[in-house]
Structure 1
Amino acid sequence: MFTLKMGWAALFGGLLLIAILVSKSIWQPGWPVERYDALFLFAISVQALFLIFRLESWAEARVILLFHLTGTAMELFKTWAGSWSYPEAALFRIEGVPLFSGFMYASVGSFMARAMRIFDMRFRPYPPFWLTVGLAVAIYVNFFAHHFLPDIRWLLFAATIAIYGRTWVWFRLTSYYRMPLVLAAGLSSLFLWIAENIGTRSGTWLYAGQHEAQMVSFAKMGSWYLLLYVSFVTVTLAAPAVINDRAAPSPRSPQPPEPADQARPKPRNSPFGSSTD
């Protein structure tokens, strides 16, 4: 059940990876539409279908748009700095960045928002919110600043443990279970690293000095680990219900305890609004 729900939460990213692999295997140079443009149109179409068929709520779509904007900003800087490149042509692009690339970041946002709703996640005990926002800002800034200043990622790794080390992710299957948030972030970064290898093996993007047969450096897993905390805080800004001051549910409990002053929100409608999931 856990695996099925995780796969359903990652539907957007999974469809995008399939499109990347299929387009790489069938695309011909003489076709009237460039592959990157086809991927962009595919991603927009999938997003529209998710909203039409209520696989995502509008609240989730707003979160995903924010991911798209912050991700595209990073793409513009990183391609300018020479960290990676997109070797194919595209009509829908800004400088050297094809617009479909923003949807790769958006797929991470889609996964996190959908997983929080599908699993009815809660995070306890949650650190001071201002501290989590400060960490997310520091991580995001370091992705840019380390090109000009000393890289402080090791301090940021330590900060994630210091700030989130006591936090548990509570999630529901038929009853409630929990996992340390730091462990959840580490496992998620591993799967994102695997997905990134699929992208580079298809030649969709390449890091500086990398060719398609090479694996992505394990160091990139650390980058994804840090970026996940930026993503997590982005989602909590739009869905504060997942970090409100509600007592943690007991393990194996079918329902979390309700706060004394209000009814517990319905799992499928909280914290991102209604959906057919």
Structure 2
Amino acid sequence: MKQLHQQITTRLSTNSTDRLSVIFIKKLLLFGWLQAISCIFPVIIFLSLALSSWASGYIPRYDLLLIICILAQFIMYKTGLETKDEVYVITMFHVLGLIMELHKVHHGSWSYPEAAYSKFFGVPLYSGFMYASVGSYICQAWRNLQLRTLRWPNKLLAITIGAAIYLNFITNAFLPDVRLYIAIALIIIFWRTKFSFTLGESTHKIFAILSFILIGFFIWLAENIATFLGAWRYAYQHNGWQMVEWHKITSWSLLVIVSIIIVGQLKIFKKEVF
């Protein structure tokens, strides 16, 4: 895999003799490739969701998905696609995701209708890996695109707003949903923040707020696919599949922000280039 990656990045490298149109196409393809290899774990999960129903007669589907996710993480670590630190981060996302799943399923936000041995209080253990896949993508993209932050907010502000987002996901079942106020605070806190990423020998920048929204939108698209494949169901999908509500884009964008804050603060703690 590493050799293939090296070959592709070499072929897509630009030089001074290339025309502007060729440079643009090469950079676009390189960006797409780097995004694709950053999504290996999410892709494994979606392929498993699509194919696992075929094995439902031999092993409960949710149990099979759990085994596949564990094996995928083991192989990715052993082949060097993920580092030990990244595995720790992904495990953290898995635990935080399971806590949220237990809470949301208990309050009827969505459900997992199929039976499984690895299902506790209505929540299959594989579900935490769907949150972990977001963490995996962020870790991989951070490394593959050589992400750097510009004008990152004060550590206390970043941690506080990240905690507020996560707690609101939990408390909005019995307290008023304050995501609108959180979103306003986020815009204020991250207004000047940018991410820089590297494509070949050139560096590009994007506003952090825009990147949060774009990633949230693409995860929302993925969620539509996941619910269509029966990964879980919202209450309004029990009588037949329907498109996931648009407001979920904000939920996923907020979750992405929490994920990026966690990864970013861990990199600061590890004293990596940030």
Query: Secondary structure of 2:236's match?
Result: coil
- State the Cα distance separating 1:27 from its structure 2 match: 3.5
Aligned counterpart in structure 2 of residue 203 of structure 1, from 207, 230, 234: 230
Matched, 1:3 2:32: yes
Which deviations, in whole Å up to 9, do the C-alpha atoms of 1:6-35 show, x marking residues without a partner? 0111110011111101123x234xx23101
Which deviations, in whole Å up to 9, do the C-alpha atoms of 1:128-151 show, x marking residues without a partner? 011010001111111111111111
TM-score, scaled to structure 2:
0.85
What 5-or-longer segments of structure 1 have no aligned partner? Answer: 245-264, 272-277
Bigger relative contact order, structure 1 or 2 (CA pairs below 8 A, ≥6 apart): 1
Aligned to 1:89: 115
Moved more, 227-236 or 133-142: 227-236
What 5-or-longer segments of structure 2 have no aligned partner? Answer: 1-29
- Please identify which structure carries the higher helix content: 2
Matched, 1:147 2:164: no
Aligned to 2:25: none
1:191 counterpart letter in structure 2: F
- Equivalenced residue count is 243
Aligned to 2:258: 230
Q: Residues 193-272 of structure 1: matches in 2 within 5 Å?
A: 193-211=220-238, 212-240=240-268
- State the Cα distance separating 1:241 from its structure 2 match: 7.5
- State the Cα distance separating 1:209 from its structure 2 match: 2.3
Matches of 1:108 and 1:4, distance apart in 2: 18
Q: Residues 97-136 of structure 1: matches in 2 within 5 Å?
A: 97-136=123-162
Aligned to 2:44: 15
1:7 counterpart letter in structure 2: A
Matches of 2:213 and 2:235, distance apart in 1: 25
Which deviations, in whole Å up to 9, do the C-alpha atoms of 1:167-212 show, x marking residues without a partner? 1100001111010011011000011001111111112200122244
Matches of 2:116 and 2:67, distance apart in 1: 12
Query: Secondary structure of 2:206's match?
Result: strand
Moved more, 150-159 or 67-76: 150-159
Structure 1 segments of 4+ aligned residues over 6 angstroms from their partners: none
Which deviations, in whole Å up to 9, do the C-alpha atoms of 1:93-143 show, x marking residues without a partner? 221100110000000000001111111111101110110100011111111
1:172 counterpart letter in structure 2: T
TM-score, scaled to structure 1:
0.84
Matches of 1:199 and 1:209, distance apart in 2: 15
- Contact 2:155/2:265 (CA < 8 Å) preserved in 1? no
Q: Residues 65-84 of structure 1: matches in 2 within 5 Å?
A: 65-84=91-110
Matched, 1:57 2:83: yes
Aligned counterpart in structure 1 of residue 55 of structure 2, from 17, 23, 27: 27
Query: Secondary structure of 2:175's match?
Result: coil
Matches of 1:17 and 1:159, distance apart in 2: 34
2:253 counterpart letter in structure 1: Y
Aligned-pair Cα RMSD in Å: 1.5
Do the aligned partners of residues 169 and 241 (structure 1) sit closer, same or farther apart at CA in structure 2, a change above 3 Å counting? farther
